[in-house]
Amino acid sequence: MGLRGYLIKRIIYTVILIFGVITINFFLFEAIPGNQLEAYIHNPRITYAEVQKLINAFGIGQPWYTAYPKYILSMFTFNFGQASLQMGSQQVSKLILDRLLNTILLLGTADILAVIAGILLGAYAAHERGKLFDSVAILTSLATFSLPTFWMALVLQSIFGFGLGWLPVQGWMTLPPIIGTIPYWLDRLKYMVLPGVVLFLFTYGGFLLLTRACVLETMTEDYVLTARAKGVKERNVLFRHILKNASLPIITNVALQFGFMLSGAIITENVFVYNGLGTLIYQAINLREVPVMQAIFYIIALCVIIANLVADLAYGLLDPRIRYG
């Protein structure tokens, strides 16, 4: 079986897995005590007709055997329903899209920089094993990887916000959203610096340690000794031979990291009051907004599943020893 057959099989497995995720997601929220209609019924401005519309359209508050088919259909069609008045009575999809760009800008930038820095520094630390750079790299990465993100956020707020006054400590923009103008994006950037630094410090340490371990395991292979015996430059040996062949576990970790990106950084975003998906999840949990939580958790699961599929396909491109069969 070649790549085409493998791809068809993986797509079939992916569809089955998505169906299973939707089912588990449904019954998890069904098991929560109370009634899912509470967030809507407690709204004095909602009418009886609007409540009936919610029940008929999305099965909210109905028995599971009645709500389950409607839920499956709504998830596959991305029709997530409507939030209660506490969240503006908006469509859930609009709530998510309004904050999606903010989360992608913050976490995407932080994750990309963390992955690049972690991989490069981890490879160099393995090359300098036992030396000062290696010791410092391990110590700092363990420290940033272990420290709570809320503590790092509070420290940065105290130093660069309240102490020096260089950067804002809360919010996500000051100027009106005139997208495309330089002042607007510069304004957005200054609100991203502190939470971005926190997420970078927390993320890069894990990639540095993983890369270092993978590179150390590969450095003793015969083809590495052969490349050095042929007089290949040490930099080329490290990055073209060792790192490339040690990259499979790193690819998996990178895929999972970006798969979970849409979950937002719940703790960090709430500390900085950043208007992203992390704060939306936190608000939905506090307000018992079941449709919002179901939609976000489903989208997160989809991203992780797709990221794993992409990682599996990337294995064969990066490592010619892998055959799809």
Spatial separation of the C-alpha atoms in residues 75 and 26, rounded to whole Å: 10
So where are the chain's domains?
Answer: 3-83, 92-318
Answer with the residue of higher pLDDT: 176 or 40: 176
SS3 content of the chain, % helix, strand, coil (to 5): 75, 0, 25
Tokens 């030396």: give the residue: 131
138-170 confidence digits (pLDDT tens): 898 888 888 888 888 889 889 888 888 888 888
Q: Which CATH superfamily is domain 92-318 in?
A: MetI-like (1.10.3720.10)
Q: Average pLDDT over the chain, rounded to whole? A: 78
pLDDT above 90 covers a percentage of the chain that reads: 0
> Taking the model in full, what pTM does it have?
0.77
Cβ 1 vs Cβ 300: under 8 Å: no
pLDDT (0 to 100) of residue 203: 86
Could you tell me the pLDDT band of residue 48, with boundaries at 50, 70 and 90?
A: low
pLDDT in tens, 230-282: 777 777 777 777 777 777 788 888 877 777 766 657 888 888 888 888 888 88
Q: Residue 185 burial (CB < 10 Å; 0-12/13-18/19+)?
A: middle
Say what the pLDDT of residue 190 is: 86
Angle (nearest 5°) at CA 188 between 182 and 193: 120
The one-letter code for the residue type at 38 is: E
CA–CA dist 39, 245 (Å, integer):
53
pLDDT tens digits for range 102-151: 888 888 888 889 889 988 888 888 888 888 888 898 898 888 888 888 88
